[in-house]
Structure 1
Amino acid sequence: MTAMKEFWGDTGVFRPRELGPPSRTAGVPWRLDPVADVPDTVIDAGRVGQLEIRAASARGATHRERGEVRQDVFGVTSVGDRYVLAAVADGLGAASHAHRGAQLAVRHAIGYLAWALPGSDLDVVDMVSALRKADEAVRNAGPAPESRSTTLTIAAIELGWAGQGHRFRAVRVGDSPALVLTGGTFLPLFVKRTQADECLPSPRGPADGARGVLHAGEALVLATSGIGRPVRETTVGTYLAQSWAEPPGPVAYLHQLHFDLRGFDEDRTAVVVWA
């Protein structure tokens, strides 16, 4: 009988990069989660005009160890050759169907903007209505809407605005951050710190909004707390700023999100759009 290896997981160049004391669960075998249509990891990538897009979402080490479903969701799409739309949602851990809430929020927010933008202009399109459509979908999906609680952050980027870069708008409910990576530094778009329990459905406060212009060499980042918090609080910010100075390949991007650092075992999701 072959002995089981002490360490379980990728080795060599694919082993997660250690950025400090390793997580207690770093080498623990993953358990399959009970929701068959929500895989452990999803990834997307593409190019639209002068914009490069990378996106990935993966279960955190804690969910993998316990065999629990990934509660983060992202969505990315393009509207013709004029707009790139992106969204991330972070299902609240205590909500039993948070993954479904996150799915509904992303799907309906992006769906609304994909419908509204071809007949409108980025300056005047109602970004808050995209949040409302998401809120309605989460709230009306069945009984116990609080079981589907989730954050939601969405952005629309317009390609080649007046030759001065790519203008964008972003809105959110909850604490999932949006940042601009410029000059090796992550700058937060949303300055106000929201309450930890602010979420869909039926948020209590107004949505946060931001707008700006993405210049060549910069990147717009939408993330859940599994990326946003270590970027803000640890050396992960320096590591990812260096790794994302230029768009990495899709597999390299996914590997960069799988860093190993004790105390940061949440689901990890990020959409990055480079100019």
Structure 2
Amino acid sequence: MEQVQEYEAPSTAETVPGFPQPLVIGREPRVISQPGPMPAVRRPDTEIDGAALPGLEVRAASIRGDAHRYYGTVRQDAMGLWYDGDRTLLACVADGLGSKEESHVGAATACEVAQAYLSLLPLRPEHVTDAGNFVDGVAGEIRNQADQLGMPLDELSTTFLAARVQEMPEASVHRAVLVRVGDCMAWHLHRGVWTSCFREDDDGTEITSSATRALPHDIEHAEVGYADLYPGDMLLLCSDGLAKPMRGPQVSSQLASWWSRPPSLPEFFWQMSFRAKTHDDDRTAVCIWRV
């Protein structure tokens, strides 16, 4: 009589061959990097996107932090990308305040409605009034959302950063003009060196007074920055979940090495999932390469 072999399921502890665990940079984190309880609010753990545009290559990801995974709480970061089909790309990131349970709604709203106010984004960094009009429009949409949902306005508080990247044919350059409220960051990577796109103080560190500022309030504190992107350059927009670990030279140099060229989407997700002790917040980045 023919014997039938029983199927033996593979161990769940095994990893997919050739696909390593996220890189640990510095000290080993305490929180494990794997899904935990399902959040009461259904929102994807991770968003990932990318595009190949004339003169530009884009990679973007918003990843729930290991702490939120461990406690089963929702990802509070958001991102958005739009291209007008001609010469202009709009990219934005937002980070709902951790102290507000519904702040993910404010972050998502800001990134969803930004396109409607693209015409108000300044074409030049000195056009500060235009920047105020842009964030005022986005803030108004957050207020409307709070009214519709019957939520206190402060519960939807979110930091916000947007960049208008436009081809300048006469100068053979793509110019990025950026507007932010809060502590999201933007860096220009040129020949392996990171440079902040926003005003810095005398000792070269980021201004920290913006850390608690957020929409829909603090419209008057909108900041404007810019970067000119030449072939080989990259523009990074990110929430503080990535900005904070980048203050360490190990992380910033590793990312500069990884992002010297546009990675594949799977590579980008793996790179964004690096682990570093005490840095387990949501992590969102939009990377725009001038190719």
Instruction: Determine the structure 1 residue equivalent to 2:158.
Output: 150
Equivalent runs, 1:37-186 vs 2, <5 Å: 38-113=43-118, 116=119, 122-123=123-124, 126-141=130-145, 142=147, 143-186=151-194
Q: CA RMSD in A?
A: 2.4
CA-to-aligned-CA distance 1:68-113 (integer Å, 9 cap, x gap)? 0000000011012210110000000011111000011112222210
Structure 2 letter corresponding to 1:133: G
Residue 268 of structure 1 deviates from its aligned partner by 0.5
TM-score, length-scaled by structure 2? 0.85
Q: Find the aligned partners of 1:258 and 1:179 in 2 and give their Cα distance.
A: 19
Q: Percent identity?
A: 34
* Deviation of the 1:195 alpha carbon: 3.3
Q: Are 1:210 and 2:225 matched, yes or no?
A: yes
Q: Which of the numbers 195, 200, 207 marks the counterpart of 1:187?
A: 195
Q: Is the 8 A contact 2:122 2:130 kept in 1?
A: no
When normalised by structure 1's length, the TM-score is: 0.90
Aligned equivalents of 2:176, 2:210: Cα separation in 1: 25
8 A contact 1:105–1:135 mirrored in 2: yes
| 5+ residue gaps, structure 2 | 1-7, 201-206
C-alpha distance in structure 2 between counterparts of 1:131 and 1:258, whole Å: 30
* Mapped partners of 2:240, 2:152: distance in 1: 25
Distance 1:178 1:27 in 2: 26
The runs of at least 4 consecutive aligned structure 1 residues that moved more than 3 Å come to 1-5, 7-12
- After TM superposition, the structure 1 stretch with the greater mean CA deviation from structure 2, 8-17 or 180-189, is 8-17
Residue segments in structure 1 that go unaligned for 5+ positions in a row: none
Alpha-carbon shift at residue 217 of structure 1 (Å): 0.7
CA distance in 1, matches of 2:103, 2:11: 35
Residues 180-231 of structure 1, C-alpha deviations (whole Å, 9 max, x = no match): 0112121111124333211111116421101231111111110000111111
Aligned length: 269
SS at 1:151 equivalent: strand
Change (3 A) 1:8 1:88: farther
CA contact (8 A) 2:135 2:219 kept: no
Structure showing greater radius of gyration is 2
Contact 2:192 2:257 in 1 (8 A): yes
Per-residue displacement from partner, 1:127-149 (whole Å, max 9, x unpaired)? 33221111111123223110011
Contact 1:57/1:72 (<8 A) preserved: yes
Query: 1:262 and 2:284 equivalent?
Result: no
